[in-house]
Chain A
Amino acid sequence: MSELLSGFATVLSPWNLLFAAIGVTVGTFVGVLPGIGPALTIALLLPITFSLDDPVGALIMFAGIYYGAMYGGSTTSILLNTPGESASVATSIEGYQMARRGRAHAALATAAIGSFVAGTISTVLLTLIARPVASLATSFRASDYFALAVLAMVCVTALVGSSVIRGLLSLSLGLFLGLIGIDSLTGQSRFTFGTLELLDGVGIVVVIVGLFAIGETLHVAARGDVPATVEPVRPTGGVLGWLSRDDWRRSWRPWLRGTAFGFPFGALPSGGAEIPTFLSYMYEKHRARGKGEFGKGAIEGVAGPEAANNAAFAGVLVPLLTLGIPTSATAAVLLAAFQIFNVQPGPQLFERSPDLVWALIASLYVGNVMLLVLNLPMIGLWVKVLQIPRPLLYAGILVFATLGVYAVSNSVVEVLIAYAIGVIGFFMRRYGFPLAPVILGVILGPLMEEQFRRALQIAGGDATVFVTRPLTVVLLSLAVVALVVPYLPGIVARSRGRRAGKLTFAEDD
């Protein structure tokens, strides 16, 4: 607890509060743009943190950007019915219906307050379990890390998207991209085709910007008839009294239930927020049976999934911070952001730089409050952002995508690689290949390989190390189960089908 307090002491300096405020505002601005989810938002905004010398300030800004991007995403889902990431799809179903019926304010408010409640509760949970999990993780061996990375990748591949084989092919592409460059253990070059530019490998920012920003824009262009503007459903009425007494009464239980879905699913390697948001949506729908309000804008259908979405983020931070294993695309780009500032998450992080960890956790609380205070009153501004004419919006996204990659790499070749990945992303979108496994493959592949080879080295080349250590065996068996589950008929297949059908933009989390 005292560690958390000292974390707050760090965060609550005027400069850091300013960073949090900037992060939340910029994050919302970018997140509200249709088609841009949190992972792409963070990737595009990475350069603005480069001038910060202090990693604490940068991490605080990332926390703000992340929360802002999430909130921006739910705003777009509700007002425009274009979820920017798969985790917002559930929100858009009821949220857009509420907005159409003139209840946009109530939907936005229950989303924001629900996110705040869920974010706060789950950050408390993260605070409580982070240290125990980290000390547990110190007993993990290389083979366990290998198995964990396999499990995380397989879960995302098998549970997200509409076809396991397409997911596995996406994963192969990601693993291949992750292999390009110099081998970390022996220094030998792989898949560099004799070029110097590929020696450093293909960065995660290049992949994310290519797949999500370039790919998405090409996809929009190919569909033709880009609408000049899309009129969002405007919230009407004053800021006060957004939620009636009845709205509060109907919202608070879904908020708590959503949190209960979100945090554990986020903490487990199950692909982040997508599954818990849909479970929450389905559960609230099930509870409301007979009232006939679902499908016509039931506030529970917004309150639950939004809470689950936000709670899942704090959950995702558990494996990310304590084990250094990202379990969603957004976590992967956060990990890349940490690494730029020479912060390597994992059990040692809690030993080596506890001040940093606790400052980050404290900044989650601050980012959460900041979001509520800054963003609800600024909703009019975000609606204006949605009215930017589409051709200009996408032209701007392409400029910022190019700028983002160039600012990170200072290399024209890297930008061209991002474009090429964008073309691949366009075809993946068209032919139903999920994008998240690519990201996970790029970031987890090298980690997995390193741990695999290290485990072999430690065992003196004896491959039975992967079948004799109980934890390793359990994790690997779970990975096999995750691959089989989608073939079982019933609820998983149904929810997957719906998700795949309803999903409109980059599935990005």
Chain B
Amino acid sequence: MPATSPSSSPSAAPEAETKTAAETETETESVVVAGIGPRIVAAVLVVAGGALAFVAWGELDGEPLAVGGPRFAPLLVTVLWTALAVVYLIRPAPVEVEPIGDRRSPLLLVAALVVYVLLLEPAGFAIASTLFFVAAAWILGSRRWLRDVVVAVPLAFGVYFAFTLGLDIRLPAGVLPI
């Protein structure tokens, strides 16, 4: 999964050209164990699994645990999760992790998404989507404001009308009298 660059960056292309299939094969079989990352992930999984197992235990509410009852599966799944996570913490399987090129963008994107969905109902789908589209394009590296707005407005309003008028699916109209 997290191996070669999905967007096949132009710089990688000429390199690929000179490679035969066999070479590609050996190359991708080499595995890099990335420092502390997988262990942090494993630790988070142990804590999360343990917490969920605790919740599942709490939901038992003092009743005896019945294998055929509704409380058995939650406990089983969360306990297995925790156990697997502990094994993974002790012996993380090797994984190739790409270096993070940009820490800011994903955080900004998540923030933009949250603002987007919170604006969805008060401001309406069309306005919220227009604003979000331009913001997301900017976060992802686009610096052509005008073009992005020119794309965003017809996209957002087109989708709004296609869904509400064409498909009879209710989308929030928000502040616009539409």
Q: Which residues of A contact B (CB under 8 A)?
A: 34-35, 47-48, 50-51, 80-82, 93, 100, 161-163, 165-166, 168-169, 172-173, 175-176, 179, 183, 185-186, 188, 190-191, 193, 214, 217-228, 230-231, 285, 294-296, 389-392, 394-396, 398-400, 402-403, 406-407, 410, 412, 415-416, 419, 423, 426-435, 445, 449, 452-453, 456-457, 461, 463, 494, 497-498, 500-505, 507
Contacts and interface: CB of A to CB of B under 8 A. Distances in A.
Interface of B: 1-10, 16-17, 19-22, 24-25, 27-29, 37-38, 41, 45, 49, 52, 55-56, 59, 67-71, 73-74, 77-78, 80-81, 84-85, 87-88, 93-98, 100-103, 105-106, 109-110, 113-114, 116-118, 120-121, 125, 129, 132-134, 136-142, 148, 151-152, 155-156, 159, 163, 166-171
30 contacts: A34-B7, A48-B167, A51-B166, A80-B8, A165-B87, A168-B84, A169-B84, A175-B77, A176-B74, A176-B78, A191-B56, A222-B106, A230-B8, A230-B10, A231-B10, A391-B136, A391-B140, A392-B148, A394-B140, A399-B129, A399-B159, A402-B113, A406-B120, A410-B170, A415-B117, A419-B117, A431-B95, A445-B77, A497-B28, A504-B5
B7 A165 contact: no
Contact of A503 (B3, B9, B80, B114): B3
A223 B100 contact: yes
A432 B96 contact: yes
Given A34-B6, A218-B106, A224-B105, A456 B136 contact: no
Contacts of A504: 3-6, 8
Max chain A Cβ within 10 angstroms of own Cβ: one of B22, B55, B68: B68
Given A226-B141, A502-B4, A162 B95 contact: yes
Given A391-B142, A434-B1, A227 B77 contact: no
Contacts of B7: 34, 82, 220, 226-227, 230, 390
A402 B117 contact: yes
Contacts of B152: 395
B72 to A, nearest CB: 8
Question: For chain B, what secondary structure do more than half of its interface residues adopt (helix, strand, loop), or is it mixed?
Answer: helix
A431 B2 contact: yes
Contacts of B78: 172, 176
B167 A50 contact: yes
Given A226-B140, A395-B140, A501-B3, A407 B163 contact: yes
Given A223-B100, A227-B9, A431-B95, A179 B73 contact: yes
B28 to A, nearest CB: 3
B93 A500 contact: no
A502 B95 contact: no
A222 to B, nearest CB: 5
A34 B96 CA distance: 22
Nearest to B140: A391
Nearest to B101: A224
A173 B85 CA distance: 11
Given A176-B78, A224-B105, A390-B140, A407 B84 contact: no
A228 B141 contact: yes
The 8 A-B pairs at the shortest CB distance, nearest first, are namely: A224-B101, A501-B28, A295-B21, A224-B102, A391-B142, A395-B136, A432-B95, A163-B93
Contact of B41 (A35, A186, A191, A431): A431
Contacts of A218: 106, 109-110
A400 B1 CA distance: 24
A81 B8 contact: yes
Contacts of B106: 218, 221-222, 426
